[in-house]
């Protein structure tokens, strides 16, 4: 199996409503990544998108994007894993290069959530027979988990505010972030209830965006870029599909299993991770992921946030360029934005958000109510 590295990244700024079409912003991100690597062709285009079936009336988006980029007669396939779709695209592009079938592969994610009602389309990540008909959405599922967490571990109502505060603070200086404005605890705690106990500022926003990364074999990476970033591991695990069926709903087993697998494949342990791009679609999810990945004991993830250990100067910085909360969460593109940001951090190109010489980063991406979780580990 060949080792794989990233030699180009591309991101369009996340917006609430993009005036451009889906295919156009996707193509912009791809072209930017290809330009950075100095290539005019790639072997493979793997596309991630979750909602275009409903919101744009468009399937078959991988071939559509390849055509829009001007790539003719290439491999193009679409991959999905609900809200972890961007990471699924990264994984398939990784396998394409690792296997030897492709010598260069683009992973591109795109989502135009402004194209129509996103919440019901997103809810299809849950069980259409046993969950959705009773009104469940991803928000209500996360609210349920947050309520259980507060009850079981005695977390106060404002226990998670630092996840949002940190994300918004980091978003201020990321030109690609949707929100570039600091917030404080009062902003969070006085924002309206969306699904009790989740408030507006516990949630990531509906938005549009596209991001891409270009992968090549590590042994050839320096021919494309002086500072390649290596994908040290890629993994994915399922859990029981419905939260109700899980032995311990507050333990995200898919996140734990995929983290354990990724650490083994990368031959590192969690102490080696310098920063963690977490799936903070909801603050409670970020908290549960910290625990599942082993960065905090169960019931204590919120304390890591409350103690400020997730801030840029903490021992495990999170959401370093704004996270899903402030940079935005254009579903199929999200993990690819995070990958781009990890590349920025690991190569000293994170601008005002630059951490102090990080060497290893971890990314986790959550599908639905954590029925699927992908983990990627990156290094320089």
Burial class, 135, CB count within 10 angstroms (exposed 0-12 / middle 13-18 / buried 19+) = exposed
Shortest Å, Cβ 17 to a copy of itself:
17
Q: Which stretch binds a copy of itself (CB under 8 A): 45-53, 156-164, 199-207, 224-232?
A: 45-53
Question: What is d(CA 311, CA 318) in angstroms, rounded to the nearest whole number?
Answer: 7
Of the two residues 120 and 348, which places its CB atom closer to a copy of itself in the complex? 120
Q: What is the CB-side half-sphere exposure of residue 309 using CA atoms within 13 A?
A: 16
Q: Of 202, 170, 163, 185, which is closest to residue 308 (Cα–Cα)? A: 163
State the nearest-atom distance from the C-beta of 117 to a copy of itself, in Å: 13
Query: Least distance to a copy of itself from the beta carbon of 226, Å?
Result: 27
Considering only 129, 134, 151, 192, the residue that binds a copy of itself (CB under 8 A) is 129
The whole-angstrom separation of Cα 191 and Cα 186 is: 8
Establish if 126 lies at the interface with a copy of itself (CB under 8 A): yes
Q: Contact between 377 and a copy of itself (CB under 8 A)?
A: no
Find tokens 């008909």 and name the residue.
133
Check binding of 254 to a copy of itself (CB under 8 A): yes
Is 253 a binding residue for a copy of itself by CB under 8 A? The answer is: yes
Instruction: Map residue 313 onto helix, strand or coil.
Output: coil
What does the buried/exposed string (b/e) look like for 346-368 if buried means 16 or more CB atoms within 10 Å of the residue's CB? Answer: bbeebeebbbeebebbbbbbbbb
Residues 338, 215: Cα–Cα separation, whole Å:
15
Question: Given candidates 64, 214, 231, 268, which one binds a copy of itself under the rule CB under 8 A?
Answer: 64
Cα separation, 347 vs 162, whole angstroms: 27
Q: How far is the CB of 182 from a copy of itself (least distance, A)?
A: 35
Looking at 13, 114, 241, 355, which residue binds a copy of itself (CB under 8 A)?
Answer: 241
> Strand ranges (DSSP E) for 102-239?
105-112, 193-195, 198-199, 208-217, 229-238
In whole angstroms, what is the distance from residue 303 CA to residue 286 CA?
Answer: 12
63 binds a copy of itself (CB under 8 A): yes
Measured CA to CA, the distance from residue 222 to residue 242 in angstroms comes to 44
- Indicate which single residue of 62, 203, 287, 363 sits in contact with a copy of itself (rule: CB under 8 A): 62
Least separation in angstroms between CB 260 and a copy of itself: 10
**Tokens coding 148:** 């259980």
Nearest approach in angstroms of CB 361 to a copy of itself is: 20
Among 16, 35, 38, 100, binds a copy of itself (CB under 8 A): 100
Q: Does 88 bind a copy of itself (CB under 8 A)?
A: yes
**Per rule CB under 8 A, is residue 288 in the interface with a copy of itself?**
no
**Subset of 9-28 contacting a copy of itself (CB under 8 A):** 21
| Number of residues lying near a copy of itself (CB under 8 A) | 63
Compute the Cα dihedral for 95, 101, 104, 106 and give only its sign.
negative
CA 27, 168, 340, 278: dihedral to nearest 10 degrees?
-120
Each residue 132-171 as x (binds a copy of itself by CB under 8 A) or -, in order, gives: x---------------------------------------
* Interface with a copy of itself in residues 352-371 (CB under 8 A): 367-368, 371
Angle subtended at Cα 213 by Cα 24 and Cα 226, rounded to the nearest 5 degrees: 130
Per the CB < 8 A criterion, the answer to whether 329 and 350 are in contact is no
Candidate list 140, 170, 339, 372; residue touching a copy of itself; CB under 8 A: 372
Interaction between residue 128 and a copy of itself (CB under 8 A): yes
Min separation Cβ 176 and a copy of itself, Å = 26
Q: Which residues bind a copy of itself (CB under 8 A)?
A: 1, 21, 45, 50, 53-54, 56-60, 62-64, 66-68, 71-82, 88, 91-92, 95-96, 98-101, 121, 124-129, 132, 234-242, 245, 253-254, 257, 367-368, 371-372
């Amino acid at each position: 199996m060949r080792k794989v590295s990233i030699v180009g990244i591309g991101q369009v700024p996340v917006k609430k409503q993009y005036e451009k079409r889906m295919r156009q912003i996707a193509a912009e991100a791809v072209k930017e990544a290809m330009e950075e690597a100095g290539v005019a062709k790639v072997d493979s285009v793997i596309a991630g998108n979750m909602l275009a079936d409903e919101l744009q009336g468009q399937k078959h988006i991988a071939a559509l994007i390849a055509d829009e980029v001007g790539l003719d007669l290439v491999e193009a396939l679409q991959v999905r894993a609900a809200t972890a779709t961007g990471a699924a695209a990264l994984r398939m592009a990784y396998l394409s290069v690792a296997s030897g079938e492709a010598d260069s592969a683009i992973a591109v994610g795109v989502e135009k959530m402004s194209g129509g009602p996103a919440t019901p389309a997103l809810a299809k990540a849950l069980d259409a027979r046993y969950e959705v008909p009773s009104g469940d959405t991803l928000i209500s599922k996360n609210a349920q988990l947050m309520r259980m967490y507060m009850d079981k571990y005695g977390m106060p109502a404002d226990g998670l505010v630092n996840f949002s505060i940190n994300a918004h603070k980091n978003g201020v200086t990321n030109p690609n972030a949707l929100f570039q404005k600091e917030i404080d605890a009062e902003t969070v705690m006085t924002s309206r209830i969306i699904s009790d106990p989740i408030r507006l500022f516990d949630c990531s926003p509906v938005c549009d965006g596209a991001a891409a990364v270009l992968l090549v074999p590590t042994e050839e990476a320096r021919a494309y870029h002086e500072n390649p970033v290596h994908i040290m591991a890629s993994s994915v695990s399922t859990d029981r599909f419905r939260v109700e069926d899980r032995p311990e709903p507050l333990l995200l087993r898919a996140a734990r299993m995929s983290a354990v697998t990724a650490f083994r494949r990368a031959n590192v342990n969690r102490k080696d991770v310098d920063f963690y791009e977490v799936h903070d679609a909801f603050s409670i999810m970020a908290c549960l992921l910290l625990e599942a990945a082993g960065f905090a004991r169960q019931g204590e993830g919120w304390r890591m946030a409350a103690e400020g250990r997730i801030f840029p100067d903490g021992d495990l910085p999170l959401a370093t360029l704004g996270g899903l909360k402030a940079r935005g969460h254009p579903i199929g593109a999200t993990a690819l934005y995070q990958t781009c940001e990890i590349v920025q951090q690991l190569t000293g190109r994170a601008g005002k958000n630059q951490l102090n010489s990080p060497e290893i980063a971890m990314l986790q991406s959550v599908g639905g109510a954590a029925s699927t979780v992908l983990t990627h580990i990156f290094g320089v």
